[in-house]
A and B are shown apart, each in its own frame.
Chain A
Amino acid sequence: MTVKQISVFVENKIGNLAEVTKILADAGINLCAISLADTKNFGVLRLIVDDSYNAATALKEHGFIFSITPVLAVSVPDVPGGLYRILTLLEDNGINLEYLYDVNSQKMDSACLIFKVERPEDAGKALTKHQVHLLCQEDLKSLI
């Protein structure tokens, strides 16, 4: 139900970011979604890729520090209140949302958002019960 997100520690230097993307490109890895969260001194680059295992191996080889985090890829109906409904469902189930960002794809007729929540398994269950569509890693791959 969840998808694997790779979170990479990056210093706030353009070179550092460029290096990560180059390592992934050299390893033939495609990005499904990408988001950078940063503070004054450092950042965490969050990635969903088509081949998490090989991406992790490549990053490790180059000495990068990263972690694998389970997140939800949620299909959000492109109608007014679509996101509101999903957030309400999470709230009603007492699940905290830490952050979200979107998956950029032209091949979709609805929006897809990545949700980082406290209890991803519970959150997934609560959402699917209410007919919210979750995408799996394979689904995301097909969007590239």
Chain B
Amino acid sequence: MGNYFQPEIECASREQIKAWQDERLVKQVKHVYEHVEMYRQRMDEKGIRPDDIRGIEDLHKLPFTTKDDLRDQYPYGLLAMPLSDCVRIQSTSGTTGRRVVAFYTQHDIDLWDECCARAIVAAGGTKEDVVHVCYGYGLFTGGPGLNGGSHKVGSLTLPMSSGNTDRQIQFMTDLGSTILCCTPSYAAYLAESIIERGLRDKIQLKAGIFGAEAWTEEMRHDIEEKLGIKAYDIYGLTEISGPGVSFECEAQTGMHVNEDHFIAEVINPKTGEVLPDGEKGELVFTSITKEAFPLLRYRTRDICILSHEKCSCGRTHVKMTKPLGRSDDMLIVKGVNVFPSQIETVLLNKGYPANYQIIVTRVNNSDNLEVQVEMTPEMFSDSLSAIAEKEKELVSALKAMLGIYADVKLVAPKTITRSEGKAVRVIDKRNLYQN
């Protein structure tokens, strides 16, 4: 049997879970109808009154929320509580450069921390553990989420944030970190670095909680073997709260969705029709307990499969597969969301043609983003330094837009592959998604 943070919730009967969801959904729909103009309008347009939603069987009647809605409603449009009741914002990059800002009341932070605490305990965490968090801190939810979860568990928390590998390893060895939280690619990089420095015997890690980007089973085995740990997957998104929307148990056969807070659905991305268990489709979440930024039927664009099959860990909450792909063109590079449209915006702003190609590779477990841009007569000059200067300008404009470094490569005209007249914009060589 497993380790639970809140066994009465995590192992509750399906009837109990449904009862919670029914009650909370009804309440949440009333809350957003009263406080969020966009939802009120959409429900009115569909002729749905809050009273029409009597339980989760009515969920399908509610409108979807998309990433575009979040962009259009930026910054306060979807806020369902007075700002004075909010205590935090977190943010993630959105399409066409506008960021998504999510608000939290203390209640929202607590439930998010609780979800992360469940993930840490599922990975074997107790108050005796030293939880080493090298997700980024700041607007990114990775660091704050696991940090809060670790506090809830009562573990000693090392808020390392990302980068500075030497310092990471020094703290890890000196302070005896036992649970590592970071992106899987950084975990793999750390593993390599630890082995290179001959410090494999000096670390006391027993588990890792890795998320915020796609990773394969091979990568999992590689990290587990190199660090001598068990590696757990964690899933989440800022729009819904952050990491901990779902998490893996020791069975490692999917991630349990924290269904007392989030209702998961899988839909056909083209028709919006709800699909049954076992069918592949777009994952949709409704947050039923959040106060400040509650979203109804938020389309994650992640392609997943849900399963209510009984889990050997004893938990009863539905399991989702790792994302098997995306239903839009978003890329996740170094844990950061990248949309081709963002890159296009930068190019057009800088006077380049929107003829480009994005090539993502993973070398030594680290993501690399290259943007190839076709040279034009206007951009060209006899002076190498003038061209290099333009290249540099483009690199910093991309950095400002994406938040990560992208290598710019100027290529000869008409060298970017076109298929049927339409350019192939993205070449992802990482093979992240398994089928």
Which residues of A approach B to under 8 Å, CB–CB? 5, 7, 9-11, 16, 37-39, 41-42, 44, 46, 63-67, 69, 98, 116
> Are A67 and B380 in contact, with the CB atoms below 8 A?
yes
A69 engages B410 (CB within 8 Å): no
Given A9-B412, A42-B410, A116-B382: A65 touches B388 (CB 8 Å cut-off): no
Assembled-state Cα–Cα distance A37/B391 (Å): 16
Residue of B382, B384, B387, B388 touching A69 (CB-CB under 8 A): B382
Q: Decide if A44 touches B412 in the complex (CB within 8 Å).
A: no
Known contacts A11-B415, A65-B375, A65-B377; is-contact A41 B410 (Cβ 8 Å): yes
10 contacts between A and B (CB under 8 A): A5-B382, A9-B410, A11-B415, A39-B387, A41-B410, A42-B387, A44-B384, A63-B413, A65-B377, A66-B380
| Chain A residues within 8 Å of B377, by CB | 65, 67
Please classify the interface of chain B as helix (H, G, I), strand (E, B), loop, or mixed, using the class held by over half of its residues: loop
- Which residues does chain A contribute within 8 Å of B409, judged by CB atoms? 41-42
Contact between chains at A39 and B384 (CB < 8 Å): yes
How far does the Cβ of B370 sit from chain A's closest Cβ, in whole Å? Answer: 10
- Docked pose: A63 CA to B375 CA in angstroms: 11
Cross-chain contact A67 with B412 (CB below 8 angstroms): no
Chain A residues near B376: list those with CB within 8 A.
Answer: 65
CB distance from B359 to the nearest CB of A (A): 13
* A93 → B minimal CB distance (Å): 21
Q: Using Cβ atoms and an 8 Å threshold, which residues of chain A touch B382?
A: 5, 7, 44, 46, 67, 69, 116
B427 an interface residue at 8 Å Cβ cutoff?
no
B411 proximal to A (CB < 8 A): yes
Q: List, in ascending order, chain B residues with CB within 8 A of A16's CB.
A: 412
Collect the chain A residues with CB atoms within 8 Å of residue B364's CB. none
B84 is an interface residue with CB less than 8 A from chain A: no
Contact of A64 among B381, B410, B411, B412 (CB under 8 A): B412
Contact A65 B380 (CB under 8 A): yes
14 other A-B residue contacts (CB within 8 Å) besides A11-B412, A63-B412, A67-B382: A7-B380, A7-B381, A11-B415, A39-B384, A42-B375, A42-B411, A44-B382, A44-B384, A63-B414, A64-B413, A65-B375, A65-B377, A67-B377, A67-B380
The minimal Cβ–Cβ distance linking A43 to chain B, given in whole angstroms, is 8
Name the B residues within 8 Å of A41 (CB-CB). Answer: 391, 409-410
Report the interface size for chain B: residues with CB under 8 A from the other chain: 18
B435 in the interface, Cβ–Cβ < 8 Å?
Answer: no
Most chain B CB atoms below 10 A, which of A38, A39, A69: A39
A38 to B391, CA, bound (A): 14
The verdict on B431 contacting chain A, using a C-beta distance below 8 Å, is no
- From B388, B412, B415, give the contact of A39 (CB < 8 A): B388
Q: Which residues of B contact A (CB under 8 A)?
A: 375-377, 380-384, 387-388, 391, 409-415
Across the A-B interface, give the 10 residue pairs with the lowest CB-CB distance, nearest first.
Answer: A7-B382, A69-B382, A65-B380, A9-B375, A41-B409, A37-B384, A65-B375, A11-B412, A42-B410, A9-B380
Q: Which chain A residue shows the least CB distance to B414? A: A63
Residues of A within 8 A of B412 (CB): 9-11, 16, 63-65
Contacts A65-B375, A65-B377, A116-B382 known; A11 to B411 CB distance under 8 Å?
Answer: yes
Task: Assess whether A65 is in contact with B387, with CB atoms less than 8 Å apart.
Answer: no
Residue among A5, A9, A16, A38 with the highest chain B CB neighbour number at 10 A: A9
Greatest chain A CB density within 10 A among B380, B382, B410, B411 is at: B382
- A5 to B383 alpha-carbon distance, docked (Å): 13
Residues of A within 8 A of B415 (CB): 11
Residues of B within 8 A of A116 (CB): 382
The minimal Cβ–Cβ distance linking B406 to chain A, given in whole angstroms, is 13
Residues of A within 8 A of B384 (CB): 37-39, 44
A116 to B380, CA, bound (A): 17
- Give chain B residues whose Cβ lies under 8 Å from the Cβ of A64: 412-413
Output the nearest chain A residue to B409 by Cβ-Cβ distance. A41
Q: Cβ of B411 and Cβ of A65 under 8 Å apart? A: no
In whole angstroms, how far apart are the Cα atoms of A116 and B381 in the complex? 13
Complexed CA–CA distance, A10 and B411 (Å): 8
Q: Which residues of B contact A38 (CB under 8 A)?
A: 384
CB-CB under 8 A from A67, the residues of chain B are 377, 380-382
User: What residues on B are CB-neighbors of A98 within 8 Å?
Assistant: 383
Tell me the minimal C-beta distance from B409 to chain A in angstroms. Answer: 5
A22 CB, nearest partner CB in chain B, Å:
15
Contact B413 A65 (CB under 8 A): yes
Minimum CB–CB distance from A49 to chain B (whole Å) comes to 15
- Closest A-chain residue to B408, C-beta based? A41
- Whether A44 lies near B387 (C-beta < 8 A) is yes
Q: Using Cβ atoms and an 8 Å threshold, which residues of chain B touch A42?
A: 375, 387, 409-411
* Minimum distance in angstroms from B357 CB to a CB of chain A: 13
- Of chain A, the residue at the smallest CB distance from B370 is A41
Distance in angstroms between the alpha carbons of A69 and B382 in the assembled complex: 7
Residue of B nearest to A71 (CB): B382
In whole angstroms, how far apart are the Cα atoms of A65 and B412 in the complex? 8
Q: How far is the CB of B24 from chain A (nearest CB, A)?
A: 55
Which residues of B are found within 8 Å of A37, using beta-carbon distances? 384
Tell me, in angstroms, the Cα distance from A15 to B381 when the chains sit together: 22
Which residues on A sit within 8 Å (CB–CB) of B411?
A: 11, 42
A38, A39, A41, A63: which has the most chain B beta carbons within 10 Å? Answer: A41
